[in-house]
Structure 1
Amino acid sequence: MARVRLSVEERRAEMLRAAVEQIEARGVPAVRIADVATALGVSNALVLYHFSTKEKLVAAAFQYAAEGDLAQLRKLLGRRTTAVHRLRAAVRWYAPTGQAKGWRLWIEGWSAALRDPALREVTRGLDRQWKAALTEVIAEGVAAGEFRCPDPAAAAWRLTALLDGLAVQMTSYTGYTGSLARATMLEWTDEALARELGIDRASTAPPNPAPAPRRP
């Protein structure tokens, strides 16, 4: 069957999705242009036509993944509810036990960024934007009188540092004896958020949580 003809933008997006999958599966050092080409059933030359080098492909793949993460973050923080509940939704989504995917990808990225300046800029850019988004909503909550936080930027740094550290632990050691349970991880993130905002932990919970589905 003949392949569907894609636009340049569609073809690039297809390659970037494939590159992300290959990086997650193989790691940055081991992934090759040929792996991406094979996964899509195209030639190496076509991938190189769009990205010219493996380094440019990898950096673009991380940028693509970062844009998806940031879009979801902005969606959560843009909800029409209190700053507390928006922050809790964002922190729980970003937490290693939440719904955010790709922690293995980002751990790979942090490691490779130590030697790749282009990739370092991508990962630093995502980190800056994540912290800025949290800082903005924390400041909004302070201005609205929801809570007190003398330094929203410092609070955002501490929260992201905790989440990143938990992500490394969760991704690397899940399944081993002594590893933390998902419920414990989420409890810690709720406690950290409440502590940074100077409020009782119960205040971070949604006002009317949806009932848990019944088992058949």
Structure 2
Amino acid sequence: MQIVEGAYQVILQNGLSGTATRDVTRHLDVGSGLLHHYFKTWAELRAEVVRTFIFKEISELEASMAEVPVERLTQHFVDWMISDPDDQFWGLWLDAIEEARRDDELAEIIRDGHMRWHAVIADLIKRCVDAEQGKCDAPVTAAWRISALIDGLMGILALQQTALSPSAVRQIVKQQIALELGKHPNLQ
């Protein structure tokens, strides 16, 4: 929907907390009545933007991971994670997590997003174990550790002038996945 896409563009520029209905109507060059015809409140539109774009990204990742041979799975996953040069997905994700502390609807979307994201990571671990690429007795728990590490690293990477580079983040995540699979990666 054009309204959701337009709101997404404005939110990427201004952030979730820095965007209001008037910003979206200005961007789309429409009256607020049109927005309110489809979305009764700004919170409803904002939630739809977050739901649409977070789940779209996760769905695309799920589909692409299903096509990748297991020996390339970790590299594919890590490449996807750092593939957005502007960090738009991660910017929206981290912003939505912060806003979800004050917005029950966003909190539900973030919970659902975390569960799907966790399932992608758990599936990666299980596929590696099934293909004898490593051993892991608790892939669900391992996936939570990896997910938490990624959220933290992407939060650091989102900061201006951070000491971490995208290549360092890639390496750290690959090392953690290897550790979860019982391997002993070259830790630097």
Is the TM-score greater than 0.5? yes
Offset from partner CA, 1:160-189 (integer Å, 9 cap, x none): 1111001111112x325xx22222222111
Are 1:184 and 2:168 counterparts? Answer: yes
CA positional deviation for 1:201: 4.1
Are 1:149 and 2:144 counterparts? Answer: no
Unmatched 5+ residue regions in structure 1?
A: 1-12, 203-216
> 120, 132, 140: which one pairs with 1:133?
120
> 29, 52, 55: which one pairs with 1:67?
55
Offset from partner CA, 1:2-35 (integer Å, 9 cap, x none): xxxxxxxxxxx21111112222222222311111
- For the residue of structure 2 that corresponds to 1:69, the secondary structure is helix
Calculate the TM-score normalised by the size of structure 1.
0.78
| Structure 2 CA distance for aligned equivalents of residues 116 and 127 of structure 1 | 16
Matching of residues 34-73 of structure 1 within 5 Å: 34-73=22-61
Matching of residues 1-216 of structure 1 within 5 Å: 13-82=1-70, 84-94=71-81, 97-99=82-84, 101-172=88-159, 174-175=160-161, 179-199=163-183, 201=185
Unmatched 5+ residue regions in structure 2?
A: none
The answer as to whether partners of 1:92 and 1:189 remain within 8 angstroms in 2 is no
| Structure 2 CA distance for aligned equivalents of residues 98 and 195 of structure 1 | 23
- For the residue of structure 1 that corresponds to 2:67, the secondary structure is coil
| Structure 2 CA distance for aligned equivalents of residues 183 and 66 of structure 1 | 23
Over the aligned positions, Cα root-mean-square deviation in angstroms equals: 1.8
| Structure 2 CA distance for aligned equivalents of residues 153 and 103 of structure 1 | 22
Task: Give the share of equivalent positions with the same residue, in percent.
Answer: 24
Structure showing the higher helix proportion among its residues: 2
Q: Which moved more, 1:28-37 or 1:98-107?
A: 98-107
CA positional deviation for 1:43: 1.2
Query: Which structure has the larger Rg over C-alpha atoms?
Result: 1
Over 4 Å off, 4+ runs: none
- For the residue of structure 1 that corresponds to 2:135, the secondary structure is coil
| Structure 2 CA distance for aligned equivalents of residues 91 and 42 of structure 1 | 40
| Structure 2 CA distance for aligned equivalents of residues 182 and 17 of structure 1 | 27
